[in-house]
Chains A and B, each alone.
Chain A
Amino acid sequence: MEKDFTYIDFEMGSDELVAKIVADHQGWSISIAKCIAKAWNMDWQLDGLDGAAFEALIYCAKRFDNKMGIPFRGYAHRRIHEACAAEARQCKRWQYGTNEMSQIECDAREVAFRLFELFPELRDGLLPIEQPENESLTENTLRGSIKHLLASASLLTSFQKTSTDNPEYAVEFRRMFQIIANMDAIHQMILWLIYWQGQSMRAVASDWGLDELAIIREHQSIIEYVSNRMTESRKAKPVPLKIRPKLRKLKIDETNLPFSRFKVASPVVIFLLATAQLLSNTLFANLLG
């Protein structure tokens, strides 16, 4: 990585360095806020994204260590983006939308926000795909990357919608759940914990005593598998997804997996199961309330 010599004469955390970094990069940090606001139909000033970007810029400037050999923008981009996105999520416009498509827009924003958590490289302006060394970005690699994002967004949407009190969504997403139900127990649990329970990959790895990279790679494989299954015809025989050696040692209780009921169930059965689940939840809530 190329070394940034701009701030070599300054002491880390000094007022002079912070002032110079802020002066040099204020416009750049605002452009990140504007970019997020534009994509999510928000106002970068009224919704407070400029303030979040500025705060994050100062925070990064205070902690920037030139000796690490990382250029300031490389160090700060992800953090400023994260701060702006978090600020956007807290404002009122996030929940209410701007036009007649407000519900779709609000749901899409929530899914987009989660996509940034699942694919942090997006915050740096990179698409989530391994680009082979010495090869330029081809249309196929772009398509592959977009397919990953679409598969992940579909999973997020399916979990987001089925968490509402409408059993019809369980039928709508039955194929998706059938694909997941036919996967290995470990893969089902990874999807359940990350997409349904909203846990980070680091937290899942920590709970299972693994390194984060193992879960990140397994998640990539799962998403690739799901996107392939979504595009191929229904009659095609699926090739089972292999489990990495590190994950094979894990012992998952396969008797009560969250998606097992969708394995062979017909739409009618799924609808009845979802309705029964909903009624029992309501009943328990009334009893407890």
Chain B
Amino acid sequence: MVKKIDGITSSPSSSVKETSATSTSGVKAVNSVNAADADSSVKRVRKATRPMTAEERATLFRLLNEEADKMLEQEKLSPETKETVKIAVRMAIDASILDEPDK
């Protein structure tokens, strides 16, 4: 025999919150791993050392001559001093560029 329970007048405790049942959704297909794009490679702020071509070297020294003439024109330096400055920078750049292919 089933006894009927009655006489409960109070509402359910407010601290107990109803939660919706966790529903499951269908499992999506796993994406395959693709090869990295060519564009997504890590780019360095400065380029690695590489031998310069004769043309690039000529361009660099042309720019050096132009900038030296422009810059040292304002200074009332003797021609020897101007030449010293220009040759010094040229020597520094020239000594830093490897012009022989790797052996």
Contact = CB atoms under 8 A, between A and B. Distances in A.
Interface string B30-74: 000000000000010111011000000000100110011011101
Contacts of A127: 93
Interface in A155-172: 156-157, 161, 172
A125 B48 CA distance: 8
B89 A146 contact: yes
B31 to A, nearest CB: 27
B91 interface: yes
Contacts of B15: none
Interface size class on chain A is: 35 or more
A85 B95 contact: yes
A150 interface: yes
Given A108-B88, A230-B71, A39 B43 contact: no
A233 B70 CA distance: 11
Contact of A133 (B45, B78, B94, B98): B45
A124 interface: yes
A157 B74 contact: no
A115 B88 contact: yes
A34 B100 contact: yes
B103 interface: yes
B102 interface: yes
A131 B45 contact: yes
Given A115-B92, A131-B45, A142-B63, A172 B78 contact: yes
Contacts of B60: 142, 146
A161 B72 CA distance: 16
Given A27-B102, A131-B46, A149 B93 contact: yes
B65 to A, nearest CB: 10
A183 interface: no
A131 B47 contact: yes
A103 B102 CA distance: 35
Contact of B87 (A105, A137, A139): A105
A191 interface: no
A80 to B, nearest CB: 11
Contacts of B85: 108, 111, 150, 153-154, 157
A251 interface: no
A176 B96 contact: no
B63 A35 contact: no
Contacts of A35: 94-100
A104 B68 contact: no
A231 B79 CA distance: 18
A146 B49 CA distance: 17
A52 to B, nearest CB: 14
Interface string A75-88: 00100010001000
Interface of B: 43, 45-47, 49-50, 60, 63-64, 67-68, 70-72, 74-78, 80-81, 83-100, 102-103
26 contacts: A26-B103, A28-B103, A35-B98, A39-B91, A39-B95, A108-B84, A108-B85, A115-B88, A121-B46, A125-B49, A130-B45, A133-B45, A143-B67, A146-B64, A147-B67, A149-B89, A149-B93, A150-B86, A151-B71, A153-B89, A172-B76, A172-B77, A172-B78, A176-B75, A230-B74, A231-B74
Give the 7 A-B residue pairs with the shortest CB-CB distance, closest first.
Answer: A27-B103, A111-B88, A39-B94, A125-B49, A39-B95, A108-B87, A112-B91
Given A157-B81, A232-B74, 19 more contacts: A31-B98, A31-B100, A35-B95, A39-B90, A39-B95, A77-B49, A101-B83, A104-B84, A108-B85, A112-B91, A122-B93, A124-B96, A125-B97, A139-B63, A146-B60, A146-B63, A150-B67, A150-B71, A172-B81
